[in-house]
Every structure is written in C-alpha cells, then in structure tokens.
Amino acid sequence: MLTPQVAEGVLVTGSAGFIGSHLMRHLAASGRHVVGVDRRPAAAGAASGARVRHVVGDLRTLDLEPLLDGISAVVHLAAIPGVRPSWQEFDSYVECNVLATRRLLEACRATGLPRIVVASSSSVYGDSAHERMSESQAPAPASPYAVTKLAAEQLALAYAQRPGSRLSAVALRFFTVYGPGQRPDMLISRLIDAALNGTEISIYGDGSARRDFVFVDDVVRAIGRAMDTGVGSGVFNVGTGRNVSVAELIAQASALAERSPVVVHRDRQPGDVGVTLADVSRTAEVLGFRASTDLAEGLRRSIEDRRSQMVAVGA
Ligand code: NAD
Ligand code: UGA
C-alpha cells in the first residue's frame, strides 16, 4: 500500500532541457512551487507563474544549499545525455553526470532533504542477453555515457543508505524518450525534420536496431509517481514494454508525415546497443505507473508540433 507524500516545493535540475521543460510546465500547471536550475536559460514558452522560479547556474560550481530552501523533493535531470559523443568528451560527462550529482547529494544531505528522483537510463543494461531488460539484471553499460549514468544512480542510492540519512532515492531508468522538443541529436526529431523537408537522414547500421520509445508526457507522469509516493529507494524502468525497429519507425513516421526522408546508411556507432525493451512489471506494481501513449499517437503529436513550428518561422 502506497502512502501519498505529496512534496511541497520541487527543485528540477536540467529544467531547460527536453524532459525538464515538459516537467516544469506540468508542475507549474498543477500549482506546485517549483524551482528549475540549468546552466542554459529557459527557452521561450517555458513554465511561468508566481510559484515558478528559473535559476541559471552550473551544478558543478553553484552554491546548492540555498536552492533547497522550501523544497521537499528534487528531480535530478541535469546531465550530458548522448550515447555516441561520450567516447570523445568523457571528462565533461564525468563532471556533469557524476561529480555534479555528488555535489547535489551533499547539499541534500546537509539540508535533510527527504526525496530525490534521479534520471537514469536504459543504457545501463548494455546489450542484454535477456529478451526484456529488468531491474533485477546485472547492469553492463556499453558506452562511457552509460557508465556515468550508472555511477550517478548508484551514488544516489549509496547516499540514501548512509546510516542516519533522511534521504530516499528513486532512480528512473528512462528508455528512449521522444515528443515535442526532443533533443536535435536524437533519431525521432531528426527523422521528422528529414521527412517533412524530404531531406537526408543518416541511419547507423541496417535499420534493424530496436528501441522502446516512450512519450515524454508518460515520463513526466512517471516522475510524478516517483516523487509523490511513499515507496522507498530503488530503481525502476520507465518504458512502454514494446519496441520497434528503426526501419519500421521510418515507415510509420513517413506515412504520418505524408513524405519520406532520404535514408543514407552509415556504420553502426560504438556504444549503441542493438535492442532495448523494458520489463515494466516492477514499475507497474510498485509505482503504479504504466505508459499510455502509443507510438502512432506520440508520433502524430510530435509531427504536428514540428509542423506548427515550421509554419511559425515561415519555413
Ligand atoms: P537535455 O540535454 O535536453 O537536458 C539536460 C539539461 O541539463 C540541459 O538543459 C543542460 O543544459 C543541463 N545541464 C547539463 N549539465 C549541467 C550542469 N553541470 N549544470 C546545470 N545544468 C546542466 O536532455 P534530456 O533528453 O532532457 O535528458 C534529461 C535526463 O534524462 C538526462 O539525465 C539524461 O541522461 C536522461 N535520459 C534521457 C533520455 C532521453 O531519451 N532523452 C533517456 C534516458 C535518460
Ligand atoms: C537515447 C538518449 O539519447 C539517451 O540519453 C538515453 O540514455 C537512451 O536513449 C536510453 O534509452 O537510455 P538512443 O537510444 O541512442 O539514446 O536514442 P536515439 O538517439 O533516438 O537513437 C535511437 C536509434 O537510432 C539508435 O539505434 C541510433 O543509432 C539510431 N540513430 C540515431 C540513427 O540511426 N541516426 C541518427 O541520426 C540518430
């Protein structure tokens, strides 16, 4: 039985990012006192209101304790996110994903914060030998990025386990998240742009890679469950339990956009895993969360959003 523990003030790190900006708007709309922190300023259309504050600052150097004043839950999304560039820029990944997480956890400890939700990643599983990736499996990260995400989630769990700690930590292992405003380095945003414009897209490998794509509104809902339920520390998958190949995705997006991209196949990239597929049973049973947006609906909404942006800039 879950005990509702509705957090009062919420601090969102990475609030100017793709997932962060959706979460900020959702929390603002529900009337919560919310503070967002990001090293980039919030974009036009960001959450606003009397109970919303945006702070521009870098978690590697910012004085974090004052940000936790009046806050009872932190959602830690700030990180350098891509799999493929992480072979080249590892120092920045370690600084932003691991060392900055430690600074934040120290501030949580010092202020006696009760709850942190940390964004982890399906990439921690690597190329799984099992059909579905389940939290009980041993992680086997296949990229430097994934190593830093595993380090960050485990660090949060270690802080929560410290004797006398008031903190509970929930690490959410997001599968590939998509939706309006998706990062421009990711497949679906590139695919929609290329389809709508009839331009080229590079596909790494032969199109047989499979991903469990989860819509951003579902991810925001899962974060809400993790923040506001009395569940103790642990890790939880956030995916749909279904996956699709890159080739199938291209066909589906082209049909919805009524135009096709020019596909150019390139070498598979180091660190990219072949297949992701979430076992969603623990998240459903313990957090009471299941994704509800199917891929066709999520793609339709993403294409619609992109089309209206193109009209707005006269493209
Ligand atoms: P994003 O890049 O859009 O957002 C991350 C934000 O963090 C950026 O706005 C960036 O400026 C900020 N940031 C990075 N380092 C910082 C620092 N040192 N100080 C302050 N701000 C900093 O990425 P996203 O796709 O929204 O991902 C959010 C989180 O979810 C990340 O932790 C990522 O690893 C994780 N995740 C994302 C996906 C996905 O498919 N998008 C999947 C699994 C996990
Ligand atoms: C995404 C996020 O970028 C990571 O932050 C996150 O941790 C990860 O999901 C996750 O699931 O945990 P990824 O699956 O690589 O990583 O997401 P995309 O960039 O959308 O790539 C999906 C597939 O498309 C991969 O096979 C990739 O190789 C391929 N791809 C991507 C292309 O073929 N071309 C591109 O231009 C981009």
DSSP class of residue 86 equals G
Kindly provide the b/e burial profile for residues 63-75, where b requires at least 16 CB atoms within 10 angstroms of the residue's own CB: ebeebbeebbbbb
Q: Which sequence positions are flagged as catalytic? A: 145
CA of 176 to the centre of ligand 2 (A): 7
Instruction: Give the closest residue to 46 by CA, choosing from 30, 28, 32.
Output: 28
Give the residues surrounding ligand 1 with Cβ less than 6 Å away.
14, 16-20, 38-40, 58-60, 77-81, 96, 100, 119, 121, 149, 174, 176-177, 183
Ligand nearest to the CA of 143: 2
Separation between Cα atoms, residue 168 and residue 194, nearest integer Å: 43
Tokens of 17: 């990012």
CA of 14 to the centre of ligand 1 (A): 6
Tokens of 64: 């974090």
Burial of 109 (0-12, 13-18, 19+ CB in 10 A): middle
Ligand nearest to the CA of 142: 2
DSSP per-residue letters across 260-312: --EEEEEPPPTT--SB--B--HHIIIII-------HHHHHHHHHHHHHHHHHH
Tokens of 153: 């989630």
**Superfamily grouping for domain 9-177+215-239+272-291:** NAD(P)-binding Rossmann-like Domain (3.40.50.720)
The residue nearest atom 10 of ligand 1, judged by CA position, is 14
pLDDT in tens, the chain (315 residues): 344 455 589 999 999 999 999 999 999 999 999 999 999 999 999 999 999 999 999 999 999 999 999 999 999 999 999 999 999 999 999 999 999 999 999 999 999 999 999 999 999 999 999 999 999 999 999 999 999 999 999 999 999 999 999 999 999 999 999 999 999 999 999 999 999 999 999 999 999 999 999 999 999 999 999 999 899 999 999 999 999 999 999 999 999 999 999 999 999 999 999 999 999 999 999 999 999 999 999 999 999 999 999 888 876
Q: What pLDDT is stored for residue 4 in this prediction?
A: 44
Among 38, 116, 145, which is best to mutate for testing ligand 1, by the most ligand atoms less than 8 A from CB?
38
